[in-house]
Amino acid sequence: MLGKIFTSTTARTFSRQAFQQTRNASTQASKTKLSRGEIALGIASALAGGAAGVQLMNPVHADAAADGLHPAAYPWAQNSPFSTFEHDSIRRGYQVYREVCAACHSLDRIAFRNLVGVSHTEEEAKAMAEECEYTDGPDDQGEMFQRPGKLSDYMPKPYPNEEAARAANGGAYPPDLSLIVKARHGGADYIFSLLTGYVDPPAGVEVREGLNYNPYFPGGAIAMAKNIHDGVVEYEDGTSATASQMAKDVTVFLNWAAEPEHDERKKMGLKAVLILSAMTGLSLWIKRFKWASLKTRKLAYRPPQN
Ligand code: HEC
């Protein structure tokens, strides 16, 4: 009977409200003295709220992924106030992006020159750029021509425009990944969880043809299929390419892409804090020094003798 009631959306909304009320009521109860009526109301809504709570926690509930499952907080190196990105991870992550994600996702804001000194040497970045073809021109005859990429070129796009991208992906648009870590609630934790979070839909949840169940994606049904499987890339540094390793590396790479200034910013911040605190100490000392004679002098009034 409960099940029947709670399958309707309004009932669910109602039971959520009741749940909220119960929470409010129980917080209040611990702070203030409640009248009998209020306590009875509290108990009644606690029961309703309890049912709602069970309903909300129930894994078979289609609603579980409605707002997206909250990702776990992972210990990213870049989260520490004194740490930079893991640069070997950026390098591996670029490889994952290039070999897997770049088939569908653009990375508009990153040029090959940005990789120099971060994850690749200048020669490596040049060589990678040259592997891509770019349309340039017009030449003397007014014709556009193809040329190999240069360091100043931005990452090549997989599709010429949004329509082409949608047409190739069943109507869904693979977003540009340059700022995706900043553009999604949960940042790196969310991206990592999303990439590794594909599971079979729970019993009773229907996922439309062409969509995939992923509880971290708000709504639960994402057009992107799972594309990180153990061993899809082969790392040159010998790191074993497990799915979670690749997801972590590509997330670090995308995090760097979203804030390439990160390492420099932290270094500047640290310098600023050190220098400014030294200056503060110095200026306090100078102030005391300058005021010392004023503060320690004694003023005495000697009235005229006659
Ligand atoms: C076969 C094409 C394809 C590949 C390969 C692919 N994606 Fe996607 N991706 C998509 C599509 C399509 C969407 C849009 C999904 C939607 O809106 O339902 C998407 C969405 C996303 C999103 C946004 C999710 C959100 O919250 O809106 C992220 C992040 C993402 N992909 C990361 C990646 C990463 C990282 C890789 C490489 C490991 C990758 N994708 C590989 C097609 C692809």
Write the pLDDT tens digit of every residue in 296-306.
Answer: 999 999 999 98
Where residue 66 falls among pLDDT bands split at 50, 70, 90? confident
Residue 38: predicted pLDDT: 54
Residue 12: predicted pLDDT: 42
Say yes or no to pLDDT of 16 above 70. no
**Residue 105 near residue 175, CB atoms below 8 Å:** yes
Between 28-32, 47-51, 179-183, the lowest mean confidence (pLDDT) is in 28-32
Residue nearest to atom 39 of ligand 1 (CA): 101
**Residue 227 near residue 246, CB atoms below 8 Å:** no
Say yes or no to pLDDT of 213 above 90. yes
Say yes or no to pLDDT of 29 above 50. no
Mean of pLDDT values over 194-208: 95
Q: Is 172 in the pocket of ligand 1 (CB under 6 A)?
A: yes
Say yes or no to pLDDT of 209 above 80. yes
Residue 67: predicted pLDDT: 84
Write the pLDDT tens digit of every residue in 71-124.
Answer: 999 999 999 999 999 999 999 999 999 999 999 999 999 999 999 999 999 999
Write the pLDDT tens digit of every residue in 119-139.
Answer: 999 999 999 999 999 999 999
Say yes or no to pLDDT of 227 above 90. yes
Across the chain, mean pLDDT equals: 86
Give the DSSP H/E element, type plus range, for residue 278. helix 262-296
Q: In a mutational test of the pocket of ligand 1, which residue from 69, 99, 105, 107 has the highest number of ligand atoms less than 8 Å from its CB?
A: 105
Where residue 9 falls among pLDDT bands split at 50, 70, 90? very low
**pLDDT above 90 coverage of the chain, percent:** 77
Residue 306: predicted pLDDT: 81
Residue 35: predicted pLDDT: 54
Q: DSSP assignment of 13-50, as one string?
A: HHHHHHHHHHHHHHHHHHHS---HHHHHHHHHHHHHHH
**Residue 125 near residue 151, CB atoms below 8 Å:** yes
**3 state DSSP class of 272:** helix
Say yes or no to pLDDT of 1 above 50. no
- Work out whether strand 145-148 and strand 212-213 pair parallel, antiparallel, or are unpaired: unpaired
Residue with tokens 């760097």: 256
Write the pLDDT tens digit of every residue in 253-273.
Answer: 999 999 999 999 999 999 999
φ and ψ at residue 146, rounded to 5 degrees: -95, 140
Q: Is 104 in the pocket of ligand 1 (CB under 6 A)?
A: yes
The number of the ligand 1 atom at minimal distance from the alpha carbon of 172 is: 12
The number of the ligand 1 atom at minimal distance from the alpha carbon of 96 is: 38
Write the pLDDT tens digit of every residue in 268-287.
Answer: 999 999 999 999 999 999 99
Where residue 54 falls among pLDDT bands split at 50, 70, 90? very low
**Residue 241 near residue 232, CB atoms below 8 Å:** yes
Mean of pLDDT values over 199-228: 95
**pLDDT above 70 coverage of the chain, percent:** 79
Say yes or no to pLDDT of 11 above 90. no
- Give 44 Cα–ligand 1 centroid separation in angstroms: 45
> In the structure encoding, which two tokens stand for residue 255, read together?
């995090």
**Residue 122 near residue 108, CB atoms below 8 Å:** no
From the CB of residue 125, how many other CB atoms can be counted at a distance below 10 Å?
A: 21
Say yes or no to pLDDT of 236 above 90. yes
